[in-house]
Amino acid sequence: MPPITLVTGAARGLGASIARRLGTRGHHVIVNYRSSAAEAAGIVRDIEDAGGSASSAGADVTDPSAVDGLVSGILAAHGRIDAVVVNANTAPPPFAALADLSWTDFAAKVTGELAGAFHITKRVLAPMRAQGAGRIVYMGSTAADYVGGGRLAHGTAKSALATFARHVAAETARDGVSVLVVAPGAVRTPATAAIMDGERGAVLARESVLGRVLEPEDVAAAVALAADPALHAATGTTLRVDGGWSVLVGGPSS
């Protein structure tokens, strides 16, 4: 039986690449979406066309009753849930310095980020504990470690997510459930293509040991490995996928 793996927010962006990659590694992938049903169905077709197995499931992962329905549906269909990639971009960053940031925007970023992790984690823990195995991968960001560039809200939220993951690791490891944060740097996605193809992209490429900007496939490859329960002992920690920024310059200056 293939591992049953849920990827939240997988209709586009990094989630779509992660879903495709997991499909090629033999997972049955549940492609979660909030509103992009047609795009999610397209990702399912991509996975099936490549010889894999997938299905799509709509749910707002910040809504606990929707999350309950999502996970209950997976358990009804498959009898288990082996891995979850907590990826949905539930709170896009309001890039701004503190002086220009409203409490409303700051709070929306922090609570939206954590709601997308809290409800799904709580809901999958009981079945994973009953199985004696489970793997949860959280999509963090190197923004948790760098200051400047208006990253205050985003960095605070991703830092809180990493701390949340450490607590989950501590509470669940002896039940067979382990967690990892994958923290990408800036990635070229449809949403960031305009920036990545300009001066900012040139700086990112120059400050990377790779000599190029990150592509979604770079992140997807790391997440697909991170979702393997064989990495059980690598729990409560963060895998950076940043193209070597910290190696060369100790982090971005802007």
Ligand X SMILES: NC(=O)c1ccc[n+]([C@@H]2O[C@H](COP(=O)([O-])OP(=O)(O)OC[C@H]3O[C@@H](n4cnc5c(N)ncnc54)[C@H](OP(=O)(O)O)[C@@H]3O)[C@@H](O)[C@H]2O)c1
Angle, CA 125 vertex, CA 172 and CA 88 arms, to 5°: 110
Say whether residue 36 binds ligand X (CB under 6 A). Answer: yes
208: Cα within 13 Å, side-chain hemisphere: 19
Stretch that binds ligand X, among 29-37, 43-51, 166-174, 244-252 (CB under 6 A): 29-37
Beta-carbon contacts of residue 130 (< 8 Å; ≥ 6 apart): none
Chosen residue from 26, 35, 100, 148 binding ligand X by CB under 6 A: 35
Cβ closest to ligand X, residue 177 vs residue 186: 186
Residue whose Cβ sits closest to ligand X: 13
Say whether residue 56 binds ligand X (CB under 6 A). Answer: no
CA distances for 177 relative to 67, 138, 228, angstroms: 19, 14, 11
Say whether residue 187 binds ligand X (CB under 6 A). Answer: yes
Chosen residue from 56, 189, 235, 238 binding ligand X by CB under 6 A: 189
Say whether residue 238 binds ligand X (CB under 6 A). Answer: no
Contacts of ligand X in 133-162 (CB under 6 A): 139, 141
Chosen residue from 4, 5, 7, 12 binding ligand X by CB under 6 A: 12
User: Largest alpha-carbon pair distance within the chain?
Assistant: 53
Say whether residue 65 binds ligand X (CB under 6 A). Answer: no
Say whether residue 53 binds ligand X (CB under 6 A). Answer: no
CA torsion 41-13-92-215 (nearest 10°) is 170
Stretch that binds ligand X, among 3-11, 20-28, 201-209, 227-235 (CB under 6 A): 3-11
Chosen residue from 53, 55, 159, 192 binding ligand X by CB under 6 A: 192
Say whether residue 89 binds ligand X (CB under 6 A). Answer: yes
How many chain residues touch ligand X (CB under 6 A)? 27
CA distances for 116 relative to 9, 36, 46, 167, angstroms: 10, 17, 26, 16
Chosen residue from 14, 19, 84, 152 binding ligand X by CB under 6 A: 14
**Residues in contact with ligand X by the rule CB under 6 A:** 8-9, 11-15, 32-36, 60-62, 87-90, 139, 141, 184, 186-187, 189, 191-192
